[in-house]
Amino acid sequence: MSTMMKIENLHAKIGDKQILKGIDLEMFKGKVHAIMGPNGAGKSTLSKAIVGHPDVEVTEGKIIYKGKDITNWEPEERALEGIFMAFQHPVEIPGVNNAYFLRTALNAKRKHLGLPPLNAAEFLRLLKEKIKELGMREEMIHRSLNEGFSGGEKKLNEILQMEILEPDFVILDEIDSGLDIDALKKVSEAINKMRTPDRTFMIITHYRKILDYIEPDFVHVLKNGKVLKTGGIEIVDALEKEGYKIFEEA
């Protein structure tokens, strides 16, 4: 197995609160890593630290991605290198057209890769194809970014962005929250289609259901800002029966 990301002794805080207290985690190319843990364990802070959210201050340790130390990189540099986060609560941006935003993002990435930009017609063709595959309404591409979208539509829009941008490392931050069973199936199917030997998924979730649809290769349990346990799907079974208390720190 080839390493995609290695997190070493990561300590991070938000404001004055120390949340991550020494995370060690290795994630591999082509694998799906599920991150589970009780509320306040540090799951979202970990994902924010990986994408370079300005609220998170890394105080110790490092994040190695594709062999490079990205701990202090700007968020857009990480994104251009292939790190993508599907947000738990995607922001609404009135006045920024969905298609325009996505073309800007795609062309930024193409420029980074030394590729020519897609013109409006080329991009629209690609976008319509993806929209059709995802079963989204076409009018959504001409609306303002996430404005007035239902919870399910927002999550699908995140998946649409992922499909267009074709990232190498995908964080799905509670992508299952607020989705009904049909929407969850649709989102999961889209994610499964994106699974390739070169792409890594990090799925943050509280629930087993999504892991029935997207089978993880590894499950990591976080608590109090540390990884307590790493294993396979059997961890989820144990959690369902006993709760997080079975993985208390020794």
Partner 1 sequence: MRVLDINLEEYGAKKALVQKLKSMGMPTPKTEHYRYFGIRPILDKEYIPYSPPIQSIEEADHIEIVDGTVTKAPKSIFVEFLTNPKVDDSHYDQIYYINHLLVDKTIHFELEKDMELKIVQKFTKTGTFVPYRIKISVHPGINAKIEEEFIVYAEESLYFYGYDIDLAKDSVLQLLQNRVTGLSSFAQIAPHSVRCDKNSEFRLFTFDFGVAKTLHNYHITLEENAAANANHVIFAKEEARLGNTFHIENRGKDSRTHQFSRNILKDRARGIFDGLLIVKNPAKYSAIYQDSKTILLNDGAYMVSKPQMEIYTEYISEATHGSTTGQLDEEALFYLRQRGIAKEQAKEMLVLSFLDEIFEKLGDEKIKKEFIELYEERE
Residues that bind partner 1 (CB under 8 A): 51, 53-54, 74-76, 79-80, 84-85, 87, 90-91, 93-96, 101-102, 104-105, 108-109, 112, 144, 161, 165
Comparison of 105 and 126: residue with beta carbon closer to partner 1: 105
> Residue 80 CB, nearest distance to partner 1 (Å)?
5
- Rounded CA-CA distance 86/173 in Å is 6
Nearer to partner 1, 173 or 176 (CB): 173
Classify residue 54 as exposed, middle or buried by CB count within 10 Å of its CB (0-12, 13-18, 19+). exposed
Question: Minimal distance in Å, beta carbon 90 to partner 1?
Answer: 7
The DSSP symbol for 244 reads: G
CA 209 to CA 182: how far, in whole Å? 12
Which candidate, 153, 245, 212, 211, places its Cα nearest to that of 35? 211
For partner 1, give the closer residue by CB, 108 or 228. Answer: 108
Given the complex with partner 1, which of 1 and 96 has the nearer CB atom? 96
CB of 70 to partner 1, least distance (A): 14
Residue number with CB closer to partner 1 (69 or 74): 74
* Least distance CB 67 / partner 1 (angstroms): 20
CA atoms within 13 A on the CB side of 60: 10
Tokens of 186: 């649709």
CB of 97: closest distance to partner 1 in angstroms? Answer: 9
Q: In the chain, what is the greatest distance between 2 CA atoms, to the nearest angstrom? A: 59
3-state class (DSSP) for residue 192 = helix
